[in-house]
Amino acid sequence: QGIACHDSDLDLCLVVDEQRNRTMTKQRILDSIGWVGHICSATAGLPRKELKIIKTSRVPIVKHSGARFPFDISFAFPGVVNSAWLRQYVHQDKAVVQPLVLCLTRWSRAVGINNNPDGFLSSYTMMLLCIFYLVRVGVLTPLAPTTANLPPIPEYPDSEYWEDTELCATRLGQLAVGFFGFFAVDFPSQLSVVSLRCPGELTKADKGWNMFPLAVEDPLEPHLNTCRNVSVERWDAIRTRFAAAAAGAPAALRAVWEAEEARPR
């Protein structure tokens, strides 16, 4: 979507007809992932110690952790379509969405709340929270969560980044303060669902998700709560970080952004 950090890994998807048509069985995916891992090691010459085949996750992957070009390979074609759909939000206002999502993602890692396996948020969830907030305050226009207007295999042209101006930085700081305050205090997380399908209109009762402290609906796979692993204690810790950041968001995000720019390419 044009919002990757310098140290983000590359998410790759192998597209086959049976997966695109949602007819690929779980066992077929597991067998294929094992085969892909073998090919990466035997043919591509990647060291086995840098490769890990993860079959127990919701989306089985081959993970390469090499320092030069870390990547994940999966057969998760819905993720390709989902990225293309979210990219439309980015292009509504790149001068806001790109830097805000990048800074919030980097900030969340720096303060220790971006660690999905440990019960915190994921970078994907941070993006959904950011877009949800920008829709709520009228910066972005809601999009219907449909793939009808997307090509069978979306193309990704080179991303153009925003022009870093003083006006852009001021606006970014104001929106960051609003974002932190909104999710620290204003958003009724005990009742509502963060949903790009129904922004501001969907409740936990509607979804049967009352057991989750934080509910963030995956826009194109709405049966999934991207925060299903977040406990009450973790959500309290996240909101505490949001509240603390609200007072000094512009300075905090500027420091994060300068650190990001200083990282070696």
pTM for the model = 0.79
For residue 76, the model assigns a pLDDT of: 65
Pairing of strands 51-54, 61-64: antiparallel
For residue 103, the model assigns a pLDDT of: 87
Highest mean pLDDT among 16-20, 44-48, 100-104, 231-235: 231-235
Percentage of the chain beyond pLDDT 90 is 36
The residue written with tokens 């001068």 in the block is: 95
For residue 84, the model assigns a pLDDT of: 79
For residue 22, the model assigns a pLDDT of: 62
The residues of the chain that CATH labels 1.10.1410.10 are 79-262
Say whether domain 79-262 belongs to CATH 1.10.1410.10: yes
pLDDT tens digits for range 202-240: 999 999 999 999 999 998 889 999 999 999 999 999 999
Of residues 198 and 62, more confidence is placed in 198
For residue 151, the model assigns a pLDDT of: 55
pLDDT tens digits for range 69-100: 777 777 665 666 777 788 889 889 888 898 89
Mean pLDDT of the residues in the chain: 79
Burial 144-182 (b: 16+ CB within 10 A, else e): ebeeeeeeeeeeeeeeeeeeeeeeeeebbbebbbbbbbb
CA dist., res. 251 & res. 236, Å (int): 24
